[in-house]
Amino acid sequence: MSERLHNFSAGPAALPLPVLQKVQEELLCYPGAGASVMEISHRSKSFESIIQNAEADLRALLGIGDSHAVVFMQGGATLQFSALAVNFLRGSGKPGDFILTGSWGEKALKEAKKEGEVRTAFTNKDENFKRLPKAGELNLDPNAAFVHFTSNETIQGVEFMQEPEVGDAPLFCDASSDFLSHPVPVDKYGLLYAGAQKNIGPAGVAVAIIRKDLLDRVPEGLPSMLDYKLAVENESLYNTPACFTIYVVGLVLKWLKDDIGGLDKMYAQNQKKAAILYDLIDSSNGFYRGHAEKDCRSLMNVTWTLETPELEAELLAGAKERNLDGLKGHRSVGGLRASIYNACPVESVQALADYMTEFHKQKG
Amino acid sequence: MSERLHNFSAGPAALPLPVLQKVQEELLCYPGAGASVMEISHRSKSFESIIQNAEADLRALLGIGDSHAVVFMQGGATLQFSALAVNFLRGSGKPGDFILTGSWGEKALKEAKKEGEVRTAFTNKDENFKRLPKAGELNLDPNAAFVHFTSNETIQGVEFMQEPEVGDAPLFCDASSDFLSHPVPVDKYGLLYAGAQKNIGPAGVAVAIIRKDLLDRVPEGLPSMLDYKLAVENESLYNTPACFTIYVVGLVLKWLKDDIGGLDKMYAQNQKKAAILYDLIDSSNGFYRGHAEKDCRSLMNVTWTLETPELEAELLAGAKERNLDGLKGHRSVGGLRASIYNACPVESVQALADYMTEFHKQKG
Q: What is the pLDDT of residues A225-270, one digit of tens each?
A: 999 999 999 999 999 999 999 999 999 999 999 999 999 999 999 9
| Closest-CA residue to A201 (of B47, B151, B240) | B240
Collapsing DSSP to helix, strand or coil, B287 comes out as: coil
B109-164 pLDDT tens trace? 999 999 999 999 999 999 999 999 998 999 999 999 999 999 999 999 999 999 99
Of A213, A244, A260, at which residue does a domain stop? A260
Query: Is residue A228 a contact partner of residue A210, using CB atoms and an 8 Å limit?
Result: yes
DSSP A153-208: ETTTTEE-SS----TTSPEEEE-TTTTTSS---GGG-SEEEEETTTTTS-SS-EEE
Shared domain for A180 and A303, answered yes or no, is no
User: Quick one: closest CA in B to A75, which residue?
Assistant: B74
Taking contacts as CB-CB distances below 8 angstroms, the residues of chain A near B32 are 1
pLDDT above 50 for A12: yes
Give A299→chain B minimum CA distance, Å: 19
Residue A2 lies in a domain: no
pLDDT at A364: 84
Shared domain for B223 and B292, answered yes or no, is no
Q: Quote the CA–CA distance of A267 and A279 in Å, as a whole number.
A: 18
Shared domain for B122 and B155, answered yes or no, is yes
Query: Is residue A26 a contact partner of residue B50, using CB atoms and an 8 Å limit?
Result: no
- Judged by CB atoms closer than 8 Å, whether chains meet at B4 and A29 is answered as yes
Q: Quote the CA–CA distance of B294 and B99 in Å, as a whole number.
A: 20
The CATH number of the domain holding residue B239 is 3.40.640.10
Shared domain for B326 and B224, answered yes or no, is no
Residue A13 lies in a domain: no
* Cis status, amide bond into B12, omega within 30 of 0: yes
Residue A144 lies in a domain: yes
Residue A1 lies in a domain: no
**Which strand ranges, in their side-by-side order, compose the sheet holding A206-211?**
A68-73, A206-211, A191-195, A171-174, A146-150, A96-100, A118-123
Of A234, A260, A286, at which residue does a domain stop? A260
Of B260, B293, B320, at which residue does a domain stop? B260
Q: Quote the CA–CA distance of B261 and B254 in Å, as a whole number.
A: 9
From A1, A78, A115, residue closest to B225, measured CB to CB: A78
Alpha-carbon separation of residue B135 from B132, B160, B165, B330 (angstroms): 10, 13, 8, 29
Residue B135 lies in a domain: yes
From A44, A203, A239, residue closest to B242, measured CB to CB: A203
pTM of the complete model beyond 0.90: yes
Shared domain for A300 and A249, answered yes or no, is no
Collapsing DSSP to helix, strand or coil, A121 comes out as: strand
Q: In this structure, are strands B301-305 and B289-290 parallel, antiparallel, or unpaired?
A: antiparallel
B214-226 pLDDT tens trace? 999 999 999 999 9
| Closest-CA residue to A18 (of A325, A256, A261, A195) | A256
A299 in B contact zone (CB under 8 Å): no
Shared domain for B340 and B246, answered yes or no, is no
Q: What is the dihedral of CA A12, A15, A19, A24, to 10 degrees?
A: 60
- More confidently predicted of B91 and B81: B81
A216 in catalytic set: no
Q: Quote the CA–CA distance of B101 and B131 in Å, as a whole number.
A: 7
Shared domain for B131 and B161, answered yes or no, is yes
A198 in catalytic set: yes
Collapsing DSSP to helix, strand or coil, B183 comes out as: coil
pLDDT above 70 for B210: yes
Beta bridge partners of A173: A149, A192
Shared domain for B106 and B194, answered yes or no, is yes
B225 in A contact zone (CB under 8 Å): yes
pLDDT at B364: 84
| Closest-CA residue to B246 (of B198, B287, B206, B292) | B206
| Closest-CA residue to A64 (of A186, A190, A152) | A186
CB atoms within 10 A of CB B126: 6
Q: What is the dihedral of CA B39, B45, B47, B51, to 10 degrees?
A: 170
CB atoms within 10 A of CB A251: 23
Percent of chain A clearing pLDDT 70 (strictly above): 99
pLDDT mean across residues, chain A: 97
- Helix then strand then coil, % of chain B, to nearest 5: 40, 15, 45
Confidence of residue B1 (pLDDT cuts 50, 70, 90): very low
Q: In this structure, are strands B96-100 and B6-7 parallel, antiparallel, or unpaired?
A: unpaired
Count the residues in chain A: 364
Give B284→chain A minimum CA distance, Å: 30
Structural domain span for residue A215: 18-260
Shared domain for B297 and B179, answered yes or no, is no
Residue A211 lies in a domain: yes
B327-338 burial, b if ≥16 CB within 10 A, otherwise e?
bbbbeebbbbbb
Shared domain for B191 and B290, answered yes or no, is no
A291-300 pLDDT tens trace? 999 999 999 9
Residue B304 lies in a domain: yes
How many contiguous H segments (helices) and E segments (strands) does chain B have? 9, 14
Helical residues (DSSP H) of chain B, grouped into ranges: 17-25, 45-62, 76-88, 103-113, 228-233, 243-254, 263-282, 309-321, 346-363
pLDDT at B204: 98
Domain count, chain B: 2
Within chain A, strands assigned E span: 6-7, 68-73, 96-100, 118-123, 146-150, 152-153, 158-159, 171-174, 191-195, 206-211, 289-290, 301-305, 324-325, 336-339
Residue of A244, A301, A321, A337 to mutate for B, most B C-beta atoms under 10 A? A244
Residue B12 lies in a domain: no
Beta bridge partners of A118: A96
Query: Is residue A29 a contact partner of residue B4, using CB atoms and an 8 Å limit?
Result: yes
Shared domain for B169 and B271, answered yes or no, is no
B112 in A contact zone (CB under 8 Å): no
CB atoms within 10 A of CB A275: 13
DSSP B207-235: EEEEEGGGGGGPPSS--GGG-HHHHHHTT
Describe the crossing of helices A243-254 and A17-25 by its angle, rounded to 10 degrees. 130
Q: Is B103 left (phi over 0), alpha (psi -120 to 50) or beta?
A: alpha
A284 in B contact zone (CB under 8 Å): no
Q: Which residues 325-344 of chain A have a CB within 8 Å of chain B?
A: 325-326
Alpha-carbon separation of residue A358 from A284, A318, A352 (angstroms): 12, 11, 10
Shared domain for B233 and B282, answered yes or no, is no
Residue of A84, A240, A327 to mutate for B, most B C-beta atoms under 10 A? A240
pLDDT above 80 for B185: yes
Q: Quote the CA–CA distance of A159 and A194 in Å, as a whole number.
A: 15
